[in-house]
Chain A
């Protein structure tokens, strides 16, 4: 029995040592490491870009982490990452070099069975500030509106507050979820829910509402007709170094922008 345990232990230890050795070997080959951290809205797209970039440039390792826009900005200011990602504009006092990589729309979504197809900006504001609490006031059935917002500090919430709520506060009685994914999940399962998520994530399971009669589509965002849009930013503290610049140039190149467009985002040159 003890012998068996001993063998298992040795095996695990060997595997551990081997994997450590591999890692060291990989780093030993003089690869360029670029660390990127920030908004969880931007992260999935940058991860995809990084994958493509690393396929073509095998001497690069790009480490993409989440944490949120605010954390990304902070990390960038503290010089702990090469690039920060943000899904909101910088506030005063956050002095960093901004590179707009693309634009994203925030769409207000409801359950597909909801007969309401569009709301005005005022109505959306009234729902999230708690002034309209019942679907009846919007011409549907007598049922409480299950509004869902994002948590304090989220870039999507920050943009939504700035673009939709203006000076009003999001009401305390509104549900809070901590990711685009869980907001979408609730809206997709609750017929009486309303929430807001990144346009790139809208699919058949939820219905995006028109705002002031404008459909949230790529073309309407390009022309500026759809108002709830925000930039996805790369941030650097001072000028980025040459290696980092190579990656940024890839992201802004036609190939990089095409990748983003395929994901439902709007390129920065359009």
Chain B
């Protein structure tokens, strides 16, 4: 009997180990696969011509994705400009001010916000935000500003939940010490809690950036996808993710390889951002 139990335990443990490692395997396979597909083009056209090339016309032999790299970062920055203040304020309110009952409503609402499919965000953007931008700011409405607004909303759950965690994990003694010195609630938050939670908040912004830079569907629908680097907030733009999804259906030969090399650049950017965020979180602990 006893022996049987221990065998069972072992089987369970080993099965779980295999399943747990499978996620690592998937990551590894994805990485290898993208590299195998995308690297030949880097060798053929040259790293410089792809990353710093200005012209994207894959059917005519131009594979420059520099404008898309820049556009991706601009739109991500735009999303942060809108999402970061909103998200941080919400996290501070949730952690420090809100009562239990309100928290019980707000937290699930935020989780729901995270669960809404991106195509729905894109659709709402096209129907409501784009016409408003066209009406009041000019241009076609399919623009940097519309995309930033929608992405700004989409990164909120990421920013709020991670900032909230890092704010609540600031030790109670810090706050008590501050109150004992006669500081008001806002003074305590501003001078003590936020600086103590700084690295976690920064990590939440960086993870939000990762979310924004990787978003595809909503961006294709709203960004207008023009190849030029936007010079104005009402100009359309094309991101790295948008480029892949937009042209995937028709791509063959070198064109398809070009999209894979876009994928490599995207993967490297996302990895760098995740590394930065982890670095930020670890330093706190």
A binds B: yes
Interface residues of A (CB under 8 A from B): 40, 66-71, 74, 143-144, 146, 151-154, 169, 172-178, 185-186, 189-190, 192-193
Interface residue from B138, B220, B224, B247 paired with A153 (Cβ < 8 Å): B247
Beta-carbon contact of B58 and A175 below 8 Å: no
The smallest beta-carbon distance between B134 and chain A, in angstroms, is 6
A72 to chain B, nearest CB (A): 10
What CA separation (Å) do A154 and B56 show in the bound complex?
15
A44 shortest CB reach to chain B, Å: 15
| Contacts A153-B250, A153-B251; A172 near B140 (Cβ below 8 A) | no
Q: Is the CB of B228 within 8 A of A173?
A: yes
Q: Which of B140, B227, B238, B253 contacts A192 (CB 8 A)?
A: B140
Least CB distance from A91 to B in Å reads 10
Inter-subunit contact A172/B251 (CB<8 Å): no
What number of residue pairs across chains A and B have CB atoms under 8 A from each other? Answer: 85
What residues on A are CB-neighbors of B236 within 8 Å?
Answer: 173, 175
B80 CB to closest chain A CB (Å) equals 25
B59 within 8 A of A: yes
Contact partners of B58 in chain A: CB under 8 A = 152-153
B residues in contact with A66, CB < 8 Å: 249
Q: Quick one: which of B126, B142, B228, B250 contacts A152, CB cutoff 8 A?
A: B250
Residue contact A151 to B247, C-beta cutoff 8 Å = yes
- Could you say which of B59, B140, B255 contacts A190, with CB atoms under 8 Å apart? B140
Q: Across the two chains, which residue of chain B brings its CB closest to A182? A: B221
Partner of B246, one of A143, A144, A178: A178
Q: Are B59 and A153 in contact (CB under 8 A)?
A: yes
B246 near A151: Cβ-Cβ < 8 Å: yes
Contact B250 A175 (CB under 8 A): no
Docked-complex contact A173 and B235, CB < 8 angstroms: yes
> In this assembly, does B38 line the interface, its C-beta being within 8 Å of a C-beta of chain A?
no
A210 to chain B, nearest CB (A): 24
